[in-house]
Structures are given as C-alpha cells and as structure tokens.
Amino acid sequence: MSTNENRLKKAFYSSITSAVYQIVVIVCGFITSRLLVETYGSAWNGVIASITKFLSLFVIVEVGVNGATRVALYKSFADNDERQTSAIINANDRYYQKISLFLIIYVLILACSIPLIINANISYWSVFFMVLIIGTSKFAENCWGINSRILLAASQSNYLTNIIQTIATIANATLLFVIIKMGGNIFVAKFGSSAILIIIPIVLFILSHRIFRINKRVAPDNTALKDRWNVLANSLSNIVHENVDVFFITVFCNAKELSVYSMYYIVADGLTKVFQVITNGLEAGFGNMWARKQYDTLNKNLRQYEYIIYALSALLFGCMIVLVVPFMSVYMRGVTDVNYIRTSLGVCIAIAQILMSLRTPYVLLVQAAGHYKQVKAAGYVEAGINVVLTAILVIKLGIIGAIIGTIVANAFRTIMYGRYVSKYMLGRKFSEIVKRFVWLVAAVSVSVGVSYGVLNCITVTNWASWILAAVITFAIHATVVLLLSVIFYRNDLKNCTMLFQRLLKG
C-alpha cells in the first residue's frame, strides 16, 4: 500500500469511528441535558455549563505546548525516529508535571470565585463543591491523558481514542440516568460523571504506551516546544470563541439564561461534530504531506476538503436555521422556568458556526505546516474583537449580543486565514474563497426560503411532526446544494465522489 493510500485509510478509519463517537455524544448529550434540566432545574444546568467553560479556560496553558508537540511528532513519525519521538514526549511530560500544581490552584480559585459572580439563587457552598467535583476529571486528563491523545492523533490513530471515548460516553449517560431515576441529588449525579471521565485518560495512557515505545531515559527535547507561544496565539481565538460568551453571560445575565444558551449550543455543537468526523485524522495527513514536501498532493486534497466543508456548512447549518426553534418547542416541552423559544438566537448561532466552520481547512493546513508565528497577529486581533464587542453588546442585548460579537470576530479571522493560505502557502487567488462564500450564501438563502415556504403547512407539535419537517427540510437543502454544485463546482463534486468511492471499496 502506498504512503498516500495508507494516509487515506487511516483518515477513513478515524472518520468512521469519529462518526460513531459523535453520534453517541449527540444522542447522550440531548438525553442527559434534558434529564438535568427536568430534574434539577434550568439554574443548575446553567451553573454546570458555566463551571465547565471556566475550567476549559485552563487550556490556555496547554494548547501552545500541545500544538507544538503535535507538529514536532509529525516529523519524527515521518522519519520513523523513535528516539526523537521519546525526546518530544518526555519534554511534554515534564511540562505537564510542572503545571499540575497550577491546575489545582486554578480549580480552587474557581471554586471560591464562581459562587460570587453567578446569579443562580443557589448556595455558595453548593456551587463551591460542584466546581471541585467537575474539576477532578480535568486534573486526571492533565496527569494521564494529554500525551496519549497527542501520540495517537499525530500517528493518525485517533480511531483508538474514539472507540474508548464512545464506550465511556455511553457508560456515563447510563450511570447518570440510573442515579437520577434512583432519586440521587445533583452532586451524586455529577460525581458519577466525573468518575467515568477519570477512567478515559488512564486507559489511553496504558494503550498508547503499549503501542509506542517511549524511552523515558532519553533526554527531553525542549526545542521541539519552541513554537508553543506562536501556537497559543494561533489557538487563542478558538479559546475565546468557545468561552467568552459564557463568561460575560455569567457575569451580566443569570444562570437560567446560561441554560438557554447552552441548550441551543448543544444543537450547534452536534452539527459541528459532523465536521469533526471529516477533520479527524486530516491534520496529521496534511502534516505528513507537508513534511514530505508533497505540495501538489496537498493542494489537491485541500481543494476537495474545502468543497466538502462549504457544502456541509450550507446543508447542516441551513437546516439548523429552519429547524432549531421547532426542535426546542418539542425538546423543552414542560420546562417553564425560562423561555427556550428564541428564533433570533438560533439563527445567530447558526451563522456564527458557519463562519467558524468555513475556516477549518485553512486552520488545519496552517497547523499541519507549523505556520503559527505567521498568523498569530490575526489571532490576537480576533480575540480582542470578540472580547470587546461581546462585553459591550451582552449588556445591551443579552445573550444575542454575545453571539453577534462572536459573528464579527469569526468573520474577521476566517478572512485572515483564507487570505494567508491562498497567498503564502498555496499560491492561488483569494477570490476563489470569495466565490465559494458567495456560493454558500446563495445555497443557504435559497434553501431556507424554500423550506420556510413548504413548512408553512406543517405544525410541529411532537417528535413525529418534527421528524417529518426535518426530512423535508434536509431534502430541500440537499437538492439545492447538489444542483448548485453541478452548476458551479462540478469537478469538485466529481473528485469528492470518486474519493469516497475509493475509501468505501477499501
């Protein structure tokens, strides 16, 4: 089997297992979120969402090292250099040993401060202990799980991680369901979830160290991590995108509004995970091509991937614009402590996710090539735009204001990434990306307009009627995207079809 075919097969395995994992995450997420709101109320759901996001901010001290390590491993794996691989991993191990203490301090600071800033009508000590419970799994991930994930990702073996996480997700949802049905309180429920999540990094640690021969006696190669600050700058916008809204909603709104925001983002995240099915394993493949200087192959593969992302964005998030509010009307039926029917919120989140998704091909290429330094300025600017606009608008417009700030920031960074990749890495005109974007806007506009017109005759009152509306909406969007692809991007459609046929035939 050729090197390129081997890369494709690994990417295919990662994509299939990722698809299964993401479906499980989506289904289990909907079940458990509804159970939490129904059993413990929207306020607790908002508190948990806030705690989870604040804990995820610790990734600021991780992501630079993780990205730099991954890029360094692409080269050592391409050269089959086991000694260099051990040196890189040993350097990463040493770094995480140092920051583990800082993570403990960070969790304690959050436990003391979040109860003071969140408006939830829940006692100080209840929120305090919830932070400690949820923070336990984060600590376990740092101690045992990070290097294992990086090793498997860099070697295009993500399918192993996906299988383990799928099993753990099902176990987690099952345990939560049992605890709730047995009358357990919110602390018992979340403690059970944390216990399951602690198992994942332990299993990954054991598995990865059996597959890869990591020699702990090799001296750490700290030069492999020299680009960590540039990597952090490149990733800062993603960190801000994922967390800034929750921060300002926590400070200026209340826990019930956080619950509304989090429930809509469950839908958006579910659709975004479809993109992760495609991207899973591709960065490693791009990194391998770049390390081997196979630029023609890289350019061809990126163009196919680019078309898939734009088509999926039009299809999936166009459907979300039409279906998310009817979905909420059925999904949250019987929950009356806060209004979950927010049409403008659903539309704004869909637009924000479209813009975030469109830059995925360009982000992956930049990361795979290690061009973090070249794009870090744009990362800082986007993060600044997001923070400033969100802070101003959330005070005036509530959670809608937070999303508008994110939309503007996402638009800026997508343009910057597309321009850099086109001009400095692929040697093509930026107008190609502009044309694709115009095509996407046309596809979404036509699809949404036709869908609204057809669905006027359907009243969604239960899951059966919503599924009917979803099937019709998906069919309309798929037809429009396919027709516009045949008219404007026939070669891309043909090449992608041939690619999938090759993968399926094995």
pLDDT in tens, 122-159: 999 999 999 999 888 777 776 666 777 777 777 767 78
Tokens read off for 503: 């993968």
- Does residue 259 register a pLDDT over 60? yes
Task: Using pLDDT thresholds of 50, 70 and 90, give the confidence band for residue 324.
Answer: very high
This prediction's pTM: 0.78
Tokens read off for 46: 């908002």
DSSP string, 227-274: THHHHHHHHHHHHHHHHHHHHHHHHHS-HHHHHHHHHHHHHHHHHHHH
* Nearest Cα to Cα of residue 495 among 368, 228, 307, 239: 307
Q: What pLDDT sits at residue 379?
A: 75
Task: Using pLDDT thresholds of 50, 70 and 90, give the confidence band for residue 162.
Answer: confident
| Distance set, CA 369 to CA 71, 231, 375, 399, 421 (Å) | 8, 12, 12, 37, 11
| Distance set, CA 211 to CA 204, 207, 232, 237, 434 (Å) | 11, 6, 29, 34, 44
Count of other CB atoms within 10 angstroms of residue 494: 12
Q: What pLDDT sits at residue 62?
A: 61
Q: How many whole angstroms separate alpha carbon 506 and alpha carbon 503?
A: 5
Q: SS3 of 339, please? A: coil
**Averaged confidence pLDDT in the chain:** 81
Count of other CB atoms within 10 angstroms of residue 57: 17
- Does residue 88 register a pLDDT over 70? yes
Q: What pLDDT sits at residue 404?
A: 92
- Does residue 28 register a pLDDT over 80? yes
Q: How many whole angstroms separate alpha carbon 55 and alpha carbon 131?
A: 9
Q: How many whole angstroms separate alpha carbon 249 and alpha carbon 243?
A: 10
- Does residue 21 register a pLDDT over 90? no
**Tens of pLDDT, residues 421-451:** 888 877 778 888 899 999 999 999 999 999 9
Tokens read off for 215: 């020699």
Q: How many whole angstroms separate alpha carbon 106 and alpha carbon 124?
A: 18
**Tens of pLDDT, residues 273-308:** 776 666 555 555 555 565 566 666 667 777 778 888
Q: What pLDDT sits at residue 64?
A: 58
Q: What pLDDT sits at residue 10?
A: 64
* Nearest Cα to Cα of residue 409 among 380, 445, 432, 440: 380
**Tens of pLDDT, residues 341-386:** 999 999 999 999 898 888 887 877 777 667 767 777 777 788 888 8
Residue 327's φ and ψ, nearest 5 degrees, are -60, -45
